[in-house]
Chain A
Amino acid sequence: MAGGGGSEPNLTPFIDLFSVLICFLLMTAAWIQLDSMPSSIEKATAGPTPPVDMVTPPNDEKKISLSVTVYSDKILLKENDRELFVQNIGSQFDKEKLKLEFERWRMAYQDKKDVVLNTDALVTYGDLIKMYDLLVASDWPDVGINPQ
């Protein structure tokens, strides 16, 4: 018998305990699981480079500036002065071509981690996040979003 006596254990305290546990877990459960993507504002908004005579020993990494600009119909990949446009396929990014370019950058600048991400005014927030995600997936973890 569950209620008492006999050789069977009394299950009522178990039910009490489980009820309390379930109430606690239901109340504290995070039903909406979200991720976040941190942005490096300092790098994206860094001012103009200081004069040459103030700069301490030349460093290849400091000279290189990599940026990605998202337009509504194309993507501009800028590697210092070298520019490359990648046209969108319909309304989607040409992910294959972009990935190849990002991999080439990765191979060329193995110690560099940061890329500045610019956007045109007509672009949506969803496109910005897609490009951010693509950069992180292509091993460019330090993405600075330019707020200008």
Chain B
Amino acid sequence: MDSEKIKGYASRVIRPPGYHIHPQWDLVHTRHLLHERRHKKKSFHLNLAPMVDMFSILVIYLIMNFSSSGEVFFISKDVTMPKAAKGLPMQSFPIISIIGDKVSFDAENVEGRPVYVEEPNDQKVPQLRNVLKKIRTIEVEIAGEKNFKGQINLQADEKTSVENVKKIMRVLIEEGWTGINFLVQPDK
């Protein structure tokens, strides 16, 4: 720094004039701060600490609400599930939905591809029977007849006639799917 201030030859040193006003109360530190501020590099820096805080809270919230037993699936806006206080946690099984006069079946095959069938809800329901038979055959081949529990989830609107539900229950029983689980909204 001295090399910038001191110029000229050794015999005649030229010093740049410094602060030469010396009032009675010279505010040395204030002057120094003002000088520093004036010559400070103009750099923008984003404070990341609040962002890390926010992310931490989000992660904790999502982990607390994380459910490994639940299943993400579509519920029609026309369906209002009945409420029940004594339900058990839902497990992932194929789903049969009764919406109006239609019945739909939603599951995944062994390759993980979706299997979806929708048809009118009558006693015949050939497509539904066909797909139930296929999935049952595959599961029996894989796990054996004894280990096949025939578990299936059934969802319907609370205003649906119980006859429509029973029609499907009879079809399920005829096809060997006797573990029928009725899906409900937890009433807690």
Contacts and interface: CB of A to CB of B under 8 A. Distances in A.
Given A11-B48, A22-B62, A38 B90 contact: no
Interface of B: 45-49, 51-52, 55-56, 58-59, 62-63, 65-67, 70-73, 75, 81-91, 98, 153, 156-166, 169-170, 173, 178-187
Most buried by B among A32, A119, A145: A32
Interface string A91-117: 000000000000000000000000000
Interface stretch (A47-55, A57-65, A82-90, A131-139): A131-139
A129 B88 contact: no
A15 B55 contact: yes
Interface size classification for chain A? 35 or more
Contacts of A2: 45-49
A39 B182 contact: yes
Most buried by B among A19, A35, A45: A35
B157 A125 contact: yes
A37 B58 contact: no
Most buried by B among A12, A38, A130: A38
A34 B186 contact: yes
Contacts of A19: 55
B158 A36 contact: no
